[in-house]
Amino acid sequence: MTTLDFTPRPGAAPLPRMVLAQAGAEARATLRNGEQLLLTMIIPILLLVGFSVAPLVDVGGGPRVDFVTPGILALAVMSTAFTGQAIATGFERRYGVLKRLGATPLSRAGLLLAKTVAVVGVEVLQVVVIAVVALALSWSPHGNPLWVAALILLGTAAFSGLALLMAGTLRAEATLAAANLVYLVLLGLGGVLFPLDRFPAGVRPVLDALPITALTDGMRSVLAGGGGFPGGPLLVLACWAAVTLALAARTFRWE
Amino acid sequence: MRGVGSASGGGPAVEIRGLVKRYGRATAVDGLTLTCARGEVTAILGPNGAGKTTTVEICEGFRRPDGGTVRVLGLDPADRALRPRLGVMLQAGGVPPAVRAGEWLRVVARFHADPLDPAALLDLLGLTGHARTPYRRLSGGQQQRLSLAAAVIGRPELVFLDEPTAGLDPQARHACWDVVTALRDAGVSVVLTTHQMDEAEKLSDQVVVIDHGRVVAEGTPEALTGAERQLRFRARPGLNLDELLCALPPGSAAKESPSGHYIIEGQVGPQLLATVTAWCATEGVTTEDLRIERRTLEDVFLELTGRELR
């Protein structure tokens, strides 16, 4: 038998090293998981291509790809930060992974930071792939990339809050079902592909208050319309982020 | 880094006083008091539901006690400063199903300042060939060994192992025992729970038997099993032991437990042996497996915790 020197030499690694190690593991897990890949990459790309090429919805004037791409980018953020993260975290809780990680030097704050880094990392990949496909379909983006980054970051915060709220309170199977259902409902109602002016005026205020609507609106006003600072959408997303993250922090059960 | 240990004094690894933990109306731990010495292996024995896991998980900081005090390496178990100093092996799970064995160990290693080499540890536990196997495809024994590896990779001072050998085949069990022995030799304190008496007898410096959330016996394996010897043999079931008892010196005891297994206790020596064999000859009984031995830890355990199933 090989021998190892087990002489105690305990010590925590520096926080950045721990966070990057955990973030890398989570990002690899997402990219290796077939269902997650379907959700984060394949569905958005299929929708992008389908709705850009075929006249499935009346987008008003202008090339269809210019209308569809901002919505698909918003969908990509929602799929990773909300649906994917909720399901993955729900099952980590079920399998005792969150519990086990609690016994390592990685603190809970460090774990949440790692999850955020992993989500943003996957989102960067999604944005690159979606942008390449959209450009190939003659997409012509406008606007300030900084506003786009701000929208994606606040959108990520809002959807992460929702994801953790769900994953930390529901059973893993319930989280799986609810996260997929919410994804579909928000995809249909949030202006991702179907312009909001098709909906009755009475429900518009409700739809406008949804985080996906704010993200889609903001992305579209910047990227398609070349609009300036998307103050309204950013405010809506900030409110969602503040409320959901605060609630998740209060209700999250690690076991 | 002995300095870390001495900074908090050379006190015990674990010190529990009057620990109480309730789940709803059920009391899982009921005024439990025990001490685990530094650098020793302490085995916590007890039937299912005795409160072993609850006690260990309170020490690991997973649960808060409802009463009593717990000090781990001199600190409150909730103290984050303890995390790098403790190694934890859960009874089950704790690893993402899709993660590869080697990858999981490397990630956990990155949480520590001066970890053991993950590849060497995989090798030690016979997992090198499975380094790229996802956790869910490992056998139960391989999963256990991976969890053990993750518990020790950070070079902890104190390791908690909750039923480390449950479900292991004999080879894997011995590999696990070798690691525990190596840990102790290196000065690491080990607290383990087990159902296996041979494990407790072989590995531990100190055995604590708990039942219904309380300590019912503690001591070294030798002290618990005592110096008293027994004569045991197997024969056909249902022998009438009354005549034998009359022939034996006063203070002796004879019983059949379980059926066909006979145990004679008392002044076990040549005289007693002669009396028993003479009686066997009169009765026309052929004995099998006749031997004189010390009580086993299992005998002690069953005496303390009863024979009924739970």
Task: Say which CATH number the domain at B287 has.
Answer: 3.30.70
Contact B4 A106 (CB under 8 A): no
Same domain? B180 vs B240 = no
Per the structure, how many domains does chain B have? 2
- Residue A226 forms beta bridges with which residues? none
List of chain B residues whose C-beta atoms are within 8 Å of the C-beta of residue A33: 98
Query: Does A5 lie at the interface with B, CB-CB under 8 angstroms?
Result: yes
How many whole angstroms separate alpha carbon B168 and alpha carbon B176?
A: 9
Residues in chain A: 255
Considering the domain boundaries, does residue B119 fall inside one? yes
Side by side, the strands of the sheet bearing B189-194 are B86-89, B158-162, B189-194, B41-45, B206-211, B214-219
Residue of B nearest to A20 (CA): B110
Same domain? B75 vs B205 = yes
Same domain? B30 vs B51 = yes
Q: What is the mean pLDDT of residues B49-75?
A: 94
Considering the domain boundaries, does residue A9 fall inside one? no
Q: What is the pLDDT of residue B4?
A: 42
Q: What is the pLDDT of residue A2?
A: 55
DSSP SS3 for A105: coil
Considering the domain boundaries, does residue B86 fall inside one? yes
Q: Provide the token pair at A153.
A: 């970051």
How many whole angstroms separate alpha carbon B18 and alpha carbon B55?
A: 11
How many whole angstroms separate alpha carbon A29 and alpha carbon A108?
A: 19
| Binding-face residues of B in 35-64 toward A, CB within 8 A | 60-62
CA-CA-CA-CA dihedral for B235, B239, B242, B244, to nearest 10: -30
Query: Does B291 lie at the interface with A, CB-CB under 8 angstroms?
Result: no
Same domain? B86 vs B163 = yes
Query: Does A102 lie at the interface with B, CB-CB under 8 angstroms?
Result: yes
Same domain? B260 vs B182 = no
Print the domain residue range for B145.
Answer: 2-224
| Binding-face residues of A in 105-164 toward B, CB within 8 A | 105-107
Cβ atoms within 10 A of the Cβ of B229, count? 17
How many A×B Cβ pairs under 8 Å? 132
- Residue B158 forms beta bridges with which residues? B86, B189
List of chain A residues whose C-beta atoms are within 8 Å of the C-beta of residue B150: 100
Q: What is the mean pLDDT of residues B80-103?
A: 94
Q: What is the pLDDT of residue B167?
A: 81
Q: What is the mean pLDDT of residues B208-235?
A: 86
The answer to whether residues A17 and B87 touch, using CB atoms and an 8 Å cutoff, is: no
Is residue B293 within a helix (H) or strand (E), and if so which, with residue range? strand B288-294
Considering the domain boundaries, does residue A226 fall inside one? yes
Q: Provide the token pair at B83.
A: 């995390």
Print the domain residue range for A110.
Answer: 15-251
Same domain? B274 vs B170 = no
Lowest mean pLDDT among A104-108, B174-178, B268-272: B268-272
Same domain? B95 vs B151 = yes
Considering the domain boundaries, does residue B308 fall inside one? no
CA distance from start to end of chain A = 37
Query: Does B96 lie at the interface with A, CB-CB under 8 angstroms?
Result: yes
Considering the domain boundaries, does residue B307 fall inside one? no
Each residue's pLDDT tens digit, A41-65: 999 999 999 999 988 887 777 889 9
Task: Say which CATH number the domain at B186 has.
Answer: 3.40.50.300
- Please say which residue of B224, B245, B265 terminates a domain: B224
Lowest mean pLDDT among B65-79, B104-118, B296-310: B296-310
How many whole angstroms separate alpha carbon B129 and alpha carbon B147?
A: 16
How many whole angstroms separate alpha carbon A78 and alpha carbon A151?
A: 12
Query: Does A54 lie at the interface with B, CB-CB under 8 angstroms?
Result: no
Q: What is the pLDDT of residue B6?
A: 41
Same domain? B56 vs B185 = yes
Same domain? B218 vs B232 = no
Q: What is the interface pTM, i.e. ipTM, of the complex?
A: 0.88
Same domain? B263 vs B172 = no
Residue B268 pLDDT > 90, yes or no? no
The vertex-A233 CA angle with A230 and A237, nearest 5°, equals 130
List of chain B residues whose C-beta atoms are within 8 Å of the C-beta of residue A255: 62
Contact B85 A10 (CB under 8 A): yes
Considering the domain boundaries, does residue B183 fall inside one? yes
Is residue B161 within a helix (H) or strand (E), and if so which, with residue range? strand B158-162
What predicted TM-score, i.e. pTM, was given to this entire model?
0.84
Same domain? B16 vs B46 = yes
Contacts of A212 (CB under 8 A, 6+ apart): A74, A75, A78, A186, A187, A189, A190, A191, A192
Q: What is the pLDDT of residue B307?
A: 65
Q: What are phi and psi of B26, to 5 degrees?
A: -85, 135
Residue of A nearest to B102 (CA): A25
Considering the domain boundaries, does residue B303 fall inside one? no
Considering the domain boundaries, does residue B310 fall inside one? no
- Please say which residue of B175, B199, B224 terminates a domain: B224
What separation in angstroms does the CA of A240 have from each of A56, A133, A203, B157?
Answer: 31, 30, 19, 44
Same domain? B111 vs B134 = yes
Q: How close is the nearest chain A Cα to the Cα of B110, in Å?
A: 6
- Please say which residue of B224, B259, B283 terminates a domain: B224
Considering the domain boundaries, does residue B302 fall inside one? no
Per the structure, how many domains does chain A have? 1
